Chain A
Amino acid sequence: MKVEEICSVLNGELVCSSDRNSHEVTYAFASDLMSDVLTINCNNLLLITGLANLQTIRTAEMSDINCILFVRNKSVTPEMKNLAEELGMTLITCPSTMFRASGELYRAGMKPLF
């Protein structure tokens, strides 16, 4: 699923993207627990989270995750955005809850990891 489709499905806002809307992800994983994210071994993954801080970006970096969706209207701080841009990550924010965002994306064809 392309980033622009994710934004469209969830009424989301693209905060930053190194490769604009051509970025595409196949799988999604939803968690606020970063140690949980670090156990995932998958490429081409969208991280859906309500945890918005620098460690979210760092965790994604270590997990080779290039696209993060922040739910519940969480704010991306300038420091988070700067780091994400430096790492070439795509950040999206949306007003939905994690449950709703996950459900809408699943209905639109996003695949679960397992």
Chain B
Amino acid sequence: MAMSFEYKVTGGDFTRAGYASSQVKKMLKQLGVDNTVIKRVVVCLYEAEVNIVAHAWDGVISVDLNTDSIFLKLTDNGPGIANIEQAMQKGYSTASPEVREMGFGAGMGLPNISANADRFVINSEPGKGTTLEITINLNSNAV
């Protein structure tokens, strides 16, 4: 079993935020993936998708489903993150008031992704964008 999917995300479009995560969730359910794994995948993906909508101009989500793991890669064109260590701290956020009104921007997204992922790598270039690489094993329980 090896499948790949790709979704485009538009910055600022909160009416569509979560659409890709929703599609991935439906697909994983159809494939009979364990519910605990699905939840960890979609929590990671949704937090990351909302981050693109909240902070970037646009982005691409790619999902690779393998026999033993699910690999998510989210690449955005945006302002990037100047200090990743700071961004990973619970409670730190640069989100706008609009994002906070949506119930996000409390500095919990990246730590939440980290808690749910088996492997989480974040790279960023200020002024250009950010890339998240998230791996979730199909037979593990990180949380």
Which residues from chain A sit less than 8 Å from chain B, CB to CB? 32-39, 41, 51, 53-56, 58-59, 61-64, 79
Contacts and interface: CB of A to CB of B under 8 A. Distances in A.
A35 B21 contact: no
B131 to A, nearest CB: 21
Main secondary structure of the interface of A (DSSP, over half): helix
B17 A33 contact: no
Given A55-B14, A62-B21, 16 more contacts: A33-B106, A35-B103, A35-B109, A35-B112, A38-B43, A38-B108, A53-B101, A54-B15, A54-B17, A55-B104, A58-B22, A59-B46, A59-B103, A63-B39, A64-B39, A79-B15
A63 B39 CA distance: 7
A53 B18 CA distance: 12
Interface of B: 14-15, 17-18, 21-22, 25, 35, 39, 42-43, 46-47, 50, 101-104, 106, 108-109, 112, 115, 143
Main secondary structure of the interface of B (DSSP, over half): helix
A62 B25 contact: yes
18 contacts: A33-B104, A33-B106, A35-B47, A35-B104, A35-B109, A38-B112, A39-B108, A41-B39, A51-B102, A54-B14, A55-B102, A55-B104, A56-B103, A58-B18, A58-B46, A59-B103, A61-B22, A79-B15
